[in-house]
Chains A and B, each alone.
Chain A
Amino acid sequence: MHDKVKAQGGRGVSIALAGSGGAGVMTAGNMLLKAAAQAGWYGLMVRTSGPQIRGGEAAALLRISAEPVECLDDRFDLVIAIDWQNIHRFADELPLDAGSLMVGDPDQGNPPEVLTQRGTRLAQVPIKKMAKAIPGSWPNMIMLGIAAALVGLPLDAVKSVVEAAYGKKKKELLTPNLAAVEAGFASAQTLPAVPQLAAVEPTQTPRWLLTGNQAAGYGALRGGVRFVAGYPITPATEVLEWLSPALTKVGGTLLQAEDELASINMIIGASFGGVPSLTVTAGPGLALMAEALGLAVAAEVPVVVLDVMRGGPSTGIPAKSEQSDVSIALFGLHGDAPHLVIAPNSIADCLGATQWAVHLAEAMQSPAIVLSDQFFGQTQAVVDRPADMHFIGERAKASAPTEAYKRYALTESGVSPMSIPGTPGGAYTADGLTHNERGVPSSQAADHLAQLDKRERKLLRHDYGDYWAEIDGQGEIAVITFGSCTGPVRDALARAAADGIKVRLVSMRLLAPAQPERLSEALRGVKKVLVVEQNHSGQFHRYLRADFDLPGEVRSLRHPGPLPIHAEEIYRKITEWSLM
């Protein structure tokens, strides 16, 4: 290999493995990430493909680094393709430059012009021929070996992952594929250099490899959820698939509902029965649930709705990320219906934020919407084991209700102890009709106002603590963001810091109820505010403008999916602005 290039600081190395469906690029990507994780690196892997369900071109997009990473980088150091079929369909997700290297198979033709136009170097390796020469082996294992060698991942680390995958069940596959990895690794020695991974020590602390969808499912269980109903929808289905067997193991259950109207009403019914409950969906399903969420507000039944956002409206771009359900989550209910909206700020935080949502929903007997997204949900990441925040859903229950029991008593906190079916003396009717303290339907102005006040009060009086937002850094410029834009914002701020520009980060985990005092406190001394979000109309920006006091000059940086907001865009915006 030519002179080694060191990877830049925390940016790590970015690799794309591409090939037509069935070529096994996802398997190769998974193995590469796992090998890196076991050898002590952090990383993540995004799966991307064209619009077809099966087949077609697909790519595994990886970023591996010595430090934790929360998003893809703006560019790729290395693209390895088994073939180039239809790769142009998502070429805009593969930003390359003159420093990048493409490795292709000369027998598969040349890469499309969209990939070569920026002067990217091209190296040729006869991947398929090499695999053919080792009977029983696959081209993706050659690819795996090439990738590992180019970025400086030890061969042994990769081999042990291959052994774990094939060693037990499919022994006959092991030998040829190990040979293929070795052949790929050896072939890379003559290729042009790409940045190498910074050295790491084997990890001392436990790390996990999981997707945001799995993390959210696990967070729900940690929070105490034991009943889940859901209807399949991309990109949320894997949460249901993970939870189904997991719930059985811990003494809960999952129902596949006939539609989202059923899912939401099923979980409201189960939660009325005293069991912490959750459903999982994406935008179209959330829209169907809107009516029943109003019932959960009025009848004060805690439920959690996890919305894994995707490109919208309508069917939109189902398998790509976008933060465009902010407005429906905040304002999509009919009537005056205060409720909780919570956004995880990283893949690992899908766990903590979902767990927190269960805790808050139960504590306040309120519905909570968790806004995850496709990037979080379907990206696999290596993370430090998330600490258990001990947020357990605990509902105020009426233990020995008497004749005088008032289900909707006007308490100071606004929370009224709930009688659970089975409790003698505590029977009442949970009702979406405006009711008095006893739950008896009423159309009187005083009852309506008292109950609206109470439901607003319970959310506003709650002490959300420091967990409401991640606040980092100092400076007169602040970036306010939420969800999966937090990763690129952090990257941009690290670059700005390297230039000596100090910027404050506020990533809001609690979107509703609005906490204007807390935000003002976090922004004290700030003169410029940049709001970053991934949607077309600036839904988050508008919300901040309407319900919070933002200091100084405010600008919005946004664009819709499917392209992520890149750190580079944010960094440029900040540096330009700091010079003014």
Chain B
Amino acid sequence: MSTASVAAAPITAAAFKSAYKPIWCPGCGDYSVLSSITKAFAMLDLRPENVAVVSGIGCSSRIPAYTTCYGFHGVHGRALAAGTGLKVARPDLTVLVAGGDGDGYSIGGNHFLHACRRNVDLTYIVMDNHVYGMTKGQPSPTTEPDWESKLSPGGTGLRTFHPLVVALASGANFIARTFAGDPNGTAQIIADAIRTPGFSFVEILSPCVTLRPEQRGWKEQAHPASVATTSDPAKAARYLMTDDGFNIGVLYKGNRKPYQPPMGKGTKRVADLEAEFSI
């Protein structure tokens, strides 16, 4: 056999796992998410150097350095902005943006809306544990109104944020929910999200066993969605509005054209632009 015809050996999930030991607590849902991400990259036969994992700040946002990809661990709440700039400037890369519910829905909420709207071809996963993990237990936008903490004795009394509905209303092209306790199912959905052009949003229920030990019970609550994936936003809206928060699956997949302004296709030299100023 000539060397030219030798197919490269399929890449394994292990090739995407770095040697660094995560700082996460034992049992944290984020370990499974890391596994799912690396599995998805392997399923898609990506190469680590062509993938960028971009995050903000939080326990979950530590994920980039635990992969062998190019990582970007930025500031709290701005991962989507950094990921958007990167993808638009370097459309050849696969960009995965990852973070927590505080990072994405609270401090970064505005970027979430506009990333959905803009529909740049990248995948955004939120490891939602309904709590601020890194800062040791304050309520996030997805925290139940009656959950008590030092900062919110008696609970916040606030209605929870519904990220999937917001994503749909804002124009995300792919909307899914997964449960970290099912790493294979999560990997399949992440791979689907990356493969689908445009802005793909994957909300992953990822328990914080330290601050919300009751979330160990999520494995009993999570269940497959009772409906098939739809491309009809009205249907998806009706379903999501009555959602119990534990429906797992790809809940909406549209076919909006991704946003990618031309880059690198210039026809003029910089010096050609001078003419406009000449008297």
Residue A259 at the chain B interface, CB threshold 8 Å: yes
Of residues 268 through 305 on chain A, the ones whose CB sits less than 8 Å from some CB of chain B are 268-275, 277, 291-292, 294-295, 299
Smallest CB-CB separation from A255: which chain B residue? B88
Q: Which 8 A-B residue pairs are closest in the complex by CB-CB distance? A: A251-B266, A429-B71, A266-B85, A269-B85, A270-B89, A269-B82, A265-B81, A269-B86
- Cβ of B49 and Cβ of A291 under 8 Å apart? no
- Cβ of A254 and Cβ of B261 under 8 Å apart? yes
Q: What does the 1/0 interface line of A441-463 toward B look like (CB < 8 Å)?
A: 10000000000000000000000
Residue A37 at the chain B interface, CB threshold 8 Å: yes
Smallest CB-CB separation from B261: which chain A residue? A253
- Segment among A19-27, A146-154, A206-214, A569-577 that sits at the interface with chain B: A206-214
Residue A431 at the chain B interface, CB threshold 8 Å: yes
- Cβ of A266 and Cβ of B74 under 8 Å apart? no
A-B contact count (CB 8 A): 189
Q: In the complex, A299→B71 CA distance in Å?
A: 11
Q: Which residues from chain B contact A299 at a C-beta distance below 8 Å?
A: 72, 74
Cβ contact of B72, chosen from A250, A424, A429, A440, cutoff 8 A: A429
Residue A554 at the chain B interface, CB threshold 8 Å: no
- Cβ of B85 and Cβ of A229 under 8 Å apart? yes
What's the least CB distance linking A513 to chain B, in Å?
Answer: 24
Cβ contact of B266, chosen from A222, A249, A421, cutoff 8 A: A249
Max chain A CB contacts within 10 Å: which of B50, B267, B270, B272? B270
Smallest CB-CB separation from A272: which chain B residue? B72
Smallest CB-CB separation from A215: which chain B residue? B277
What's the least CB distance linking A431 to chain B, in Å?
Answer: 5
Q: In the complex, A211→B267 CA distance in Å?
A: 25
Cβ contact of B65, chosen from A221, A257, A258, A431, cutoff 8 A: A431
Q: In the complex, A432→B73 CA distance in Å?
A: 7
Q: In the complex, A246→B49 CA distance in Å?
A: 31
Residue A195 at the chain B interface, CB threshold 8 Å: no
Q: What does the 1/0 interface line of B226-265 toward A look like (CB < 8 Å)?
A: 0000000000000000000000000000000000011111
Residue B44 at the chain A interface, CB threshold 8 Å: no
Residue A86 at the chain B interface, CB threshold 8 Å: no
Cβ contact of A208, chosen from B82, B110, B278, cutoff 8 A: B278
List, sorted by A's number, 10 A–B pairs whose CB atoms are closer than 8 Å: A262-B114, A268-B85, A272-B86, A275-B90, A421-B52, A421-B90, A424-B49, A427-B69, A429-B71, A430-B71
Cβ contact of A251, chosen from B110, B114, B263, cutoff 8 A: B263
Of residues 121 through 140 on chain B, the ones whose CB sits less than 8 Å from some CB of chain A are none
What's the least CB distance linking A7 to chain B, in Å?
Answer: 21
- Cβ of B84 and Cβ of A266 under 8 Å apart? yes
Q: Which residues from chain B contact A214 at a C-beta distance below 8 Å?
A: 277
Cβ contact of B111, chosen from A258, A424, A432, cutoff 8 A: A258
- Cβ of A295 and Cβ of B74 under 8 Å apart? yes
Q: In the complex, A122→B111 CA distance in Å?
A: 58
Q: What does the 1/0 interface line of A2-42 toward B look like (CB < 8 Å)?
A: 00000000000000000000000000000000100110000
Residue A423 at the chain B interface, CB threshold 8 Å: yes
Given A38-B279, A269-B84, verify A227-B89 contact (CB < 8 Å).
yes
Residues of B within 8 A of A (CB): 20, 47-50, 52, 54, 64-65, 68-75, 77-78, 81-90, 92-93, 110-111, 113-114, 261-270, 272-274, 277-279
Given A422-B93, A423-B49, verify A269-B81 contact (CB < 8 Å).
yes
Given A229-B85, A270-B85, A424-B49, verify A253-B72 contact (CB < 8 Å).
no
What's the least CB distance linking B54 to chain A, in Å?
Answer: 7
Q: In the complex, A389→B146 CA distance in Å?
A: 64
Q: In the complex, A250→B90 CA distance in Å?
A: 16
- Cβ of A269 and Cβ of B54 under 8 Å apart? yes
Smallest CB-CB separation from A263: which chain B residue? B81
Residue A261 at the chain B interface, CB threshold 8 Å: yes
Given A429-B71, A432-B74, verify A258-B114 contact (CB < 8 Å).
yes
Q: Which residues from chain A contact B111 at a C-beta distance below 8 Å?
A: 258, 261-262
Q: Which residues from chain A contact B110 at a C-beta distance below 8 Å?
A: 258-259, 261-262
Of residues 195 through 223 on chain A, the ones whose CB sits less than 8 Å from some CB of chain B are 203, 206-210, 214, 218, 221-222
Q: Which residues from chain B contact A227 at a C-beta distance below 8 Å?
A: 85, 88-89, 263
A contact patch SS: mixed
Smallest CB-CB separation from A423: which chain B residue? B49
- Cβ of A431 and Cβ of B73 under 8 Å apart? yes
Residue A402 at the chain B interface, CB threshold 8 Å: no
- Cβ of A248 and Cβ of B262 under 8 Å apart? yes
Known contacts A258-B110, A382-B279; can you find 11 more A-B pairs with CB under 8 A?
A222-B270, A248-B262, A257-B81, A261-B111, A266-B81, A269-B85, A269-B86, A272-B52, A292-B78, A429-B64, A431-B65
Q: Which residues from chain B contact A166 at a C-beta distance below 8 Å?
A: none
Q: In the complex, A423→B49 CA distance in Å?
A: 6
Q: In the complex, A431→B54 CA distance in Å?
A: 10
Q: Which residues from chain A contact B69 at a C-beta distance below 8 Å?
A: 427
What's the least CB distance linking A460 to chain B, in Å?
Answer: 26
Q: In the complex, A296→B48 CA distance in Å?
A: 24
Q: Which residues from chain B contact A261 at a C-beta distance below 8 Å?
A: 77-78, 81, 110-111
Residue A563 at the chain B interface, CB threshold 8 Å: no
Q: Which residues from chain A contact B266 at a C-beta distance below 8 Å?
A: 248-252
- Cβ of A428 and Cβ of B269 under 8 Å apart? no
- Cβ of A422 and Cβ of B85 under 8 Å apart? no
Given A210-B277, A266-B82, A270-B86, verify A251-B264 contact (CB < 8 Å).
yes
Q: In the complex, A317→B128 CA distance in Å?
A: 44
Residue A425 at the chain B interface, CB threshold 8 Å: yes
- Cβ of B65 and Cβ of A270 under 8 Å apart? no
Q: In the complex, A516→B81 CA distance in Å?
A: 38
- Cβ of B49 and Cβ of A255 under 8 Å apart? no
- Cβ of B73 and Cβ of A429 under 8 Å apart? yes
Q: In the complex, A252→B48 CA distance in Å?
A: 26
- Cβ of B273 and Cβ of A218 under 8 Å apart? yes
What's the least CB distance linking B273 to chain A, in Å?
Answer: 6
- Cβ of B64 and Cβ of A265 under 8 Å apart? no
What's the least CB distance linking A348 to chain B, in Å?
Answer: 10
Residue A479 at the chain B interface, CB threshold 8 Å: no
What's the least CB distance linking A64 to chain B, in Å?
Answer: 13
Q: Which residues from chain B contact A273 at a C-beta distance below 8 Å?
A: 52, 85-86, 89-90, 93
Max chain A CB contacts within 10 Å: which of B72, B93, B274? B72
Q: In the complex, A433→B68 CA distance in Å?
A: 18
- Cβ of B49 and Cβ of A253 under 8 Å apart? no
Given A252-B266, A265-B74, A430-B72, verify A272-B48 contact (CB < 8 Å).
no
Max chain A CB contacts within 10 Å: which of B50, B88, B111? B88
What's the least CB distance linking A252 to chain B, in Å?
Answer: 7
Q: Which residues from chain B contact A432 at a C-beta distance below 8 Å?
A: 73-75
What's the least CB distance linking B23 to chain A, in Å?
Answer: 8
Residue A267 at the chain B interface, CB threshold 8 Å: yes
Q: Which residues from chain B contact A269 at a C-beta distance below 8 Å?
A: 54, 72, 74, 81-87, 89
Q: Which residues from chain A contact B89 at a C-beta distance below 8 Å?
A: 226-227, 253, 269-271, 273-275, 277
- Cβ of A255 and Cβ of B85 under 8 Å apart? yes
Q: In the complex, A291→B108 CA distance in Å?
A: 14
Cβ contact of A37, chosen from B50, B264, B279, cutoff 8 A: B279
Max chain B CB contacts within 10 Å: which of A226, A252, A421, A432? A421
Residue A352 at the chain B interface, CB threshold 8 Å: no
Q: Which residues from chain A contact B49 at a C-beta distance below 8 Å?
A: 421-427
Q: In the complex, A294→B76 CA distance in Å?
A: 12
Smallest CB-CB separation from B69: which chain A residue? A427
